[in-house]
Amino acid sequence: MTPTPLNRSLGDIAIVLGTRPEIIKLAGIIRELGPRARVIHTGQHWDDGMAGQFFRDLGIGQPDRTLTSVSGAVRGVQIGSGVTELTEHFRQHPVAAVIVQGDTNSTSIGAQAGNYLGVPVVHVEAGLRSFDRGMPEEINRLVVGALADLHCAATPENAENLRRENVDAHRVVITGNTVVEATELARQQGAHEAAHLIGAETVASGYILTTIHRPENTDTAPALERILATLAQSELPVVFTLHPRTENAIQQFGLERYLDLPHVTVLRGTGHADFLALAAEATLLVSDSGGVQEEVTVLKKPLLVVRRSTERPESIRAGFARLITPELELAEAIHEALADKEAAARLRDTPSPYGDGQASKKIAEAARVLAAR
């Protein structure tokens, strides 16, 4: 097949995504680009609860193209086969630029396929670094950092990380993080109130909202049981939004007893707006999610980050989050957080370090300028 002729100033701009957080954070950019946006879903998150539901909820329609070689494969196969399939798509149907976000396997797939064909690559949420090469996400960040033509850094610290890696200053722009507008928009979309989702009594008593999914917390029984056993002894009711990876691990390790407790409410397939409604009413959040570390700065809520390291130190320095590594006692950290009666007032007056809610507009315009070159 002969490749489609391309006028770079008018050609499609590909938005390559594959996971729930990418859909949420790129939706605003897709809306800003309008008909120029060609949305390509890698299939990394392939079921309706992890992907399809979010396209519908965010009002951005279904993807223009979905890859068939990625879903369910191990990491190396996902990236290798995804790059091959996406490269062939771009050869047959050229694009003027490629936008990727964050640090997933899909991010690496999009950046590699674009760069190897000489298509300019825009990296949204560029410059995050945990300095922990044991995290698969850190390797993806480093790979995409080497390939991107334009680095859209959310914060000055992210931009400084890129400067230390000798990225040319003219290729870095500080845009803020699209999570700010995504969070604000989701809260305006008429989600169920927390009381409707978990009951007025639980809301009135106060509760801990938990979401866990990273391999370091789910791939071994001791790591997962550490978290579940601590939450089982919590001073407050626990609302657990259960990720499919975590549910599979709980079943594999025979840990179901920790969910079958009177003070534990388990929710599956929670939409983004509903999750934020729950987070806005929670007394405390416990999570290993990168996106949640950002969202709490908009919602003004305290968070315990259960991980070895974090690429979002801004949330910690601003006072919204505390890193709880395996060497620290999670139960003690929960008790201390709940005992801090001044936290709500302190966080309410603390600005988010992730920008003013204009990131999607800034990134879309920067992508149009790059695509026209």
CB-based contacts of 258, cutoff 8 Å, min separation 6: 225, 228, 229, 231, 232, 250, 264
Q: Could you tell me the two tokens for 256?
A: 């179901």
Number of helices and strands in the chain (H, E): 18, 13
| Residue from 116, 131, 98, 93 nearest 13 by CA | 98
> Which of helix, strand or coil describes residue 310?
coil
| Residue from 55, 47, 101 nearest 71 by CA | 47
Active-site residue, from 213, 243, 263, 272: 213
Residues paired with 64 in a beta bridge: none
Residue 213 annotated in active site: yes
Sheet holding 238-242, edge to edge: 264-268, 238-242, 208-211, 284-287, 303-306, 321-324
Question: What's the rounded Cα separation, in Å, for the pair 51 and 162?
Answer: 31
Distances (CA, A) of 137 to 81, 111, 112, 292: 18, 14, 15, 16
Residue 290 near residue 138, CB atoms below 8 Å: no
List, in sequence order, the alpha helices (H) in the chain: 20-33, 53-57, 75-92, 105-116, 136-147, 156-164, 179-187, 194-198, 200-205, 215-218, 221-232, 244-253, 272-281, 290-299, 313-317, 330-339, 343-348, 359-371
Question: What's the rounded Cα separation, in Å, for the pair 241 and 211?
Answer: 5
Residues paired with 211 in a beta bridge: 287
Q: Could you tell me the two tokens for 193?
A: 């109130």
Which residues carry out catalysis? 213
